[in-house]
């Protein structure tokens, strides 16, 4: 049979094209770091990093996290990048709405093709994308929530949270309230979502360890609520000596204002770190209203450690990039999270696959070269942060009032 040379040439060309396409597909599916020297989002001179958080809306204060990340990335890039590559931050606004978080995550992973994500804000928003992120295998570094769902038991591509675990924090709060503040009648005030409910469950179990202490009432609200008069009234009627409040900043400020308005000022008011560890609360609630509020932090406020070189760098650089924003609180979370991310990239070296990158986190053993007090990971410990100090709002500042309190994941015990 005689074969037409033109047809044969065309046929061979098609085979070559299909083979090439097959090779490209193999590389694109090697994002988990098994078949390629680089994962998606990595080129010879750039690394794409994603971030999802509120930039507008009721929770817009969390945009300070993005600004902290951005500021550190700018500093790193101006000093040569990481192993010769510059960092590019791609951040989307989800307004603290899980449905928008899902849309943003898919855009970042499938369209922008980021290498990793860092410090995504919020429990409910992060839970909304958890299954998708696990399926895709993309590294999630220091997720912006302290619930167990992302770290206990460990998940291969989830490395830590940018705040101390909520369950750990709640138990520290309860212990501090009982043993240091003499609490006997405790009221629970919580955000009615996955974040608040998880903490509520921990506290109801932990309260059994204190037979002389009881929960006198529970009040709930939404993160988007602005009116808290009915909750304040219910708290007043219960007459607690201590109120444990768990929410993001704006609801925390509004609750404290509602209580202050009806004269409820005597109970100790302890607020979760995600809702209180920022000097902006004095503006949101009012100086007099926020005065005396207790909370906790995984890092000190800048004014408390004026000689710390890492903190000095943060204050100097962030003030330059964002002169109208505070250098205490949520901006520190973004900066510190970016420090951990960059250190992991640096330790990974040139072959920046997802597997190599994630394995690198197991080399962190109480790493203290960031503004966090210490960062630790192991195959059995994905918490990342395990130390914090109790704080109190005094004279327009958030001040530490205890030494560092640590948690040992191996024993499940709080260590003072």
pLDDT in tens, 401-415: 998 787 776 776 767
Report pLDDT for 18: 37
Kindly state whether residues 180 and 262 are assigned to the same domain. yes
Kindly state whether residues 160 and 172 are assigned to the same domain. no
* Mean pLDDT within 2-19: 42
Give residue-wise pLDDT tens across range 64-94: 999 999 999 999 999 999 999 999 999 999 9
Q: Please indicate, yes or no, if residue 403 is contained in any of the structural domains.
A: yes
Q: Please indicate, yes or no, if residue 154 is contained in any of the structural domains.
A: yes
Report pLDDT for 277: 76
Nearest residue to 200 (alpha-carbon basis) of 239, 159, 163, 244: 244
pLDDT-derived band of residue 7, with 50, 70 and 90 as boundaries? very low
pLDDT-derived band of residue 36, with 50, 70 and 90 as boundaries? low
Kindly state whether residues 175 and 252 are assigned to the same domain. yes
Kindly state whether residues 61 and 120 are assigned to the same domain. yes
Q: Domains in the chain: how many in total?
A: 2
CATH number for position 148: 3.40.50.2300
Kindly state whether residues 179 and 282 are assigned to the same domain. yes
Report pLDDT for 147: 85
Kindly state whether residues 59 and 89 are assigned to the same domain. yes
Q: Please indicate, yes or no, if residue 274 is contained in any of the structural domains.
A: yes
* Mean pLDDT within 347-375: 95
DSSP line for 305-349: -TT-HHHHHHHHHHHHH-TTS-SSSHHHHHHHHHHHHHHHHHHH-
Kindly state whether residues 269 and 396 are assigned to the same domain. yes
Q: Please indicate, yes or no, if residue 83 is contained in any of the structural domains.
A: yes
Kindly give, in sequence order, each residue whose CB lies less than 8 Å from that of residue 239, ignoring residues fewer than 6 positions away: 185, 216
Integer Cα distance of 31 and 43 in angstroms: 13
Integer Cα distance of 108 and 116 in angstroms: 9
Integer Cα distance of 240 and 183 in angstroms: 9
pLDDT-derived band of residue 400, with 50, 70 and 90 as boundaries? confident
Q: Are 244 and 173 in contact (CB under 8 A)?
A: yes
Q: Please indicate, yes or no, if residue 30 is contained in any of the structural domains.
A: no
Q: Please indicate, yes or no, if residue 14 is contained in any of the structural domains.
A: no
Alpha helices (H) in 79-150, listed in sequence order: 98-106, 123-136
Report pLDDT for 303: 80
Kindly state whether residues 227 and 355 are assigned to the same domain. no
- Facing residues of 46 across strands? 86
Kindly state whether residues 119 and 257 are assigned to the same domain. no
Kindly state whether residues 192 and 337 are assigned to the same domain. no
Q: Please indicate, yes or no, if residue 116 is contained in any of the structural domains.
A: yes
Integer Cα distance of 325 and 348 in angstroms: 33
Please give the residue that has the higher pLDDT: either 199 or 10.
199
Q: Please indicate, yes or no, if residue 23 is contained in any of the structural domains.
A: no
- Facing residues of 414 across strands? 407
Domain residues for the domain of 231 are 167-297+392-415
**Residue % of the chain over a pLDDT of 70:** 90
3-state SS assignment for residue 159: strand
Kindly state whether residues 138 and 201 are assigned to the same domain. no
Q: β-pairing, 376-378 with 381-384? A: antiparallel
Q: Are 49 and 341 in contact (CB under 8 A)?
A: yes
Give residue-wise pLDDT tens across range 304-350: 788 899 999 999 999 999 999 999 889 999 999 999 999 999 999 99
3-state SS assignment for residue 89: strand
Stated pTM of the model: 0.75
* Mean pLDDT within 193-218: 92
Kindly state whether residues 189 and 285 are assigned to the same domain. yes
């Amino acid at each position: 049979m005689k074969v037409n040379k033109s047809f044969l040439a065309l046929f061979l060309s098609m085979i070559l094209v299909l083979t090439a396409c097959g090779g490209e597909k193999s590389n694109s599916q090697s994002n988990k770091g098994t078949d390629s020297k680089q994962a998606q989002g990595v080129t010879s001179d750039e690394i794409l990093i994603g971030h999802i958080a509120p930039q507008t809306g009721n929770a817009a204060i969390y945009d300070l996290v993005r600004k902290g990340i951005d500021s550190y990335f700018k500093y790193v890039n101006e000093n040569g990048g990481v192993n010769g590559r510059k960092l590019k931050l791609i951040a989307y606004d989800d307004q603290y709405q899980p449905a928008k978080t899902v849309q943003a995550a898919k855009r970042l992973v499938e369209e922008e093709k980021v290498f990793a994500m860092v410090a995504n804000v919020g429990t409910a928003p992060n839970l909304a994308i958890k299954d998708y992120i696990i399926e895709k295998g993309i590294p999630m570094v220091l997720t912006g929530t302290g619930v167990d769902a992302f770290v206990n038991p460990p998940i291969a591509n989830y490395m830590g949270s940018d705040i101390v675990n909520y369950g750990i924090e709640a138990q520290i709060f309860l212990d501090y309230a009982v043993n240091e503040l003499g609490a006997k009648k405790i009221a629970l005030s919580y955000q009615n979502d996955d974040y608040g409910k998880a903490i509520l469950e921990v506290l109801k179990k932990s309260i059994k360890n204190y037979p002389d202490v009881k929960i006198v009432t529970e009040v709930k609200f939404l993160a988007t609520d602005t009116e808290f008069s009915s909750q304040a009234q219910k708290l007043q009627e219960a007459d607690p000596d201590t109120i444990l409040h768990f929410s993001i900043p704006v609801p925390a400020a509004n609750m404290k204002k509602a209580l202050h308005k009806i004269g409820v000022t005597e109970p100790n008011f302890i607020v979760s770190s995600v809702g209180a560890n920022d000097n902006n609360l004095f503006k949101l609630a009012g100086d007099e209203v926020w005065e005396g509020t207790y909370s906790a932090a995984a890092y000190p406020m800048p004014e408390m450690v004026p000689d710390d070189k890492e903190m000095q760098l943060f204050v100097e650089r962030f003030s330059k990039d964002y002169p109208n924003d505070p250098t205490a609180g949520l901006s520190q979370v973004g900066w510190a999270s970016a420090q951990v991310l960059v250190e992991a990239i640096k330790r990974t070296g040139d072959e920046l696959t997802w597997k190599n990158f994630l394995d690198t986190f197991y080399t962190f053993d109480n790493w203290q070269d960031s503004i966090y007090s210490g960062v630790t990971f192991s195959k059995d410990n994905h918490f990342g942060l395990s130390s914090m100090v109790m704080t109190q709002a005094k004279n327009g500042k958030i001040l530490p009032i205890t030494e560092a309190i640590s948690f040992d994941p191996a024993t499940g015990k709080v260590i003072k």
